[in-house]
Amino acid sequence: MQKPQLLVPVMATPNGTLVHPAYFLLVGIPGLGPDIHFWLAFPLCFMYAMATLGNLAIVLIIRVERRLHEPMYLFLAMLSTIDLVLSSVTMPKMASLFLTGIQEIGFNVCLAQMFLIHALSAMESAVLLAMAFDRFVAICHPLRHASVLTGPTVAKIGLAALTRGFVFFFPLPFILKRLSYCQTHMVTHSFCLHQDIMKLSCSDTRVNVVYGLFIILSVMGVDSLFIGFSYILILKTVLELASQGAALKAFNTCISHLCAVLVFYVPLIGLSVVHRLGGPTSLLHVIMANIYLLLPPVVNPVVYGAKTKEIRSRVLHMFSQGGRKCVDSEVWF
């Protein structure tokens, strides 16, 4: 089958003809041959299965168990839903690239994937901030928790997170489409990111650089500052508790959220710093990007499943019920 023409003239502009590629080529992991990529596809598929089953289990458990319809668990269900979609946007395409070696991804498909990755990451950041606020109110103002974080308020926070992620990142595909691409068309990751697509352009990218920096600071930057401020106040309140046991019990409710925050923000900050330093994309860029996108959907269900008593007991109950049914069926036959 003949490949489509690589460079497609789109429209004439005052600065010349706007040229878009028909497709980009995904590199995968630079420096690794096809054989290593092929074998890496299997642990990647295992990670995708873990992310899908783990996050789906959390969403369904919280949906079924009425006693889990509390702000902390409702925010957790939002986080798991975002992780479920994010892993489905990135991992299947990566697995296909590693298994088959087919590198092509359509220009518009690449832009759509890029938008979803960045928008979903912004939504996840907002939900992590909401979870930090929930812990702050629960520990610092426990008597006001039920009146502050009501069901409608939680729903409005979730809608605000969804809207903000969509609104801030919706312009990205359009400001990338205004660029002309006449250099190499090799995307140096296994998925499409704004910074990498922008670097492939031979047009003036100042608008992309300024807007990209603006949204990363005003979205993830502001969220991380408020999360940090929340934990400073939480730590201050915990240290003022008279009983050491009460202090440990209060702070223990934050451990799962702290792990989720670190897993999300540490690779994000590292990736942002590495990209801002400029220069050609290195193996470090790729590793940081893979950790940033692949790790949270896999780790979050494990952390919350292990640390949250209600979810852990429900999962164990489901397995025990399944085992009992198997034993009953063996006895019947």
- Walk along the chain (333 residues) and give the pLDDT tens digit of each residue: 445 555 555 544 555 567 888 888 888 888 778 888 888 899 999 999 999 999 998 999 889 888 888 898 999 999 999 999 999 999 999 999 999 888 889 999 999 999 999 999 999 999 999 999 999 998 888 888 888 999 899 999 999 999 999 999 999 999 999 888 876 788 888 889 888 888 888 888 889 889 988 998 899 899 999 999 999 999 888 888 767 777 777 777 788 888 889 989 888 877 777 666 655 556 777 888 888 888 899 998 888 877 777 777 777 776 666 555 554 544 444
- Those residues whose C-beta lies under 8 Å from the C-beta of residue 168, and which sit 6 or more positions away, are 119, 122, 215, 218, 219
Place of tokens 């010349």: 16
- Those residues whose C-beta lies under 8 Å from the C-beta of residue 322, and which sit 6 or more positions away, are none
- What amino acid occupies position 129? L
Model pTM score: 0.87
* The token pair that represents 307 in the structure block: 């640390």
Q: What does the alpha-carbon distance between residue 167 and residue 178 come to, in Å, rounded to a whole number?
A: 19
Q: Which residues of 14-33 are buried (b: 16+ CB within 10 A; e: fewer)?
A: eeeebbbbebbbbbbbeebe
Dihedral, CA of residue 31, residue 299, residue 116 and residue 180, to nearest 10: -20
Q: What does the alpha-carbon distance between residue 143 and residue 150 come to, in Å, rounded to a whole number?
A: 13
